Amino acid sequence: MCRDCGCSSQPEDHSDVLLARNDHQAQHNRHHFDHSHTLCINLMGAPGCGKTRMLERMAPELEGLLVVEGDLSGELDAQRMRRVGIPAIQIQTGQACHLDAHMVHEALHQLDDTPRLLIVENVGNLACPADFDLGEHLRVVAVSVTEGDTKPEKYPAIFAGADAVVLTKLDLLPHVRFSVESFWHRVKALNPSAHTFEIGADQDIAPLATWIKNNIT
């Protein structure tokens, strides 16, 4: 069960047990990634914030990348990855509003080769994914300017646990009410050590890609 929305059908008093089992599987996943020298990134954000587009734009910069896509249904995002030359595995969660470590573990069994970089694009959601460790090494949260600058205040857990926060769709700033200064102030109040990036149609995505590459061992 998610702490925030209670989306599981399991009784509420089972939530701690479910999370404990998830954490155990996540440790197993992380051990696998460490053993295979794979950097795993959990990419999170609300629906439509630009996560998939961000991956498409970084594709030429990131060698050895494999993407796991999480959606309730369909395979649209995995197809988009494949069209730009990135191998992708689609996880369909049904009614679940997040990926968990067991889902990622099952996806790993579909791999023929070990990637140097695995990016898991989580189900679009700013609440539930924050609770579920997938075994990742880094967490990246994307937020678009169309969502409003108060998101860190409304969803503190996901921002507090992020290694990097990416503000997207900067080219739309003239058309929305959004204070970049207020947004970053809220992020830093929760997470002073988070790396921060800004991207849009005209902004270079290389700094974000370089930060990712610098974390690959």
Sequence-distant (6+) residues with CB within 8 A of 183 are 143, 149, 151, 152, 167
Please give the backbone phi and psi of residue 118, each rounded to the nearest 5 degrees, phi first.
Answer: -120, 120
Give the domains, in start order, of the chain with CATH numbers: 12-214 (3.40.50.300)
Rounded alpha-carbon distances, angstroms, from residue 183 to 111, 138, 153, 195: 39, 21, 9, 14
Q: What is the pLDDT of residues 11-65, one digit of tens each?
A: 455 788 989 999 999 999 999 999 999 999 999 999 999 999 999 999 999 999 9
Average pLDDT over residues 85-97: 93
Per-residue pLDDT reduced to its tens digit, 115-163: 999 999 999 999 999 999 999 999 999 999 999 999 999 999 999 999 9
**φ, ψ of residue 7 in degrees (nearest 5):** -75, -15
pLDDT band, residue 217 (cuts 50/70/90)? confident
The pTM (predicted TM-score) of the whole model is 0.92
Which alpha helices (DSSP H) does 84-124 contain, by range? 101-108
At 96-118, the pLDDT tens digits run 899 999 999 999 888 878 899 99
Give me the pLDDT at residue 181, please. 98
Is the predicted pLDDT of residue 9 greater than 60, yes or no? no
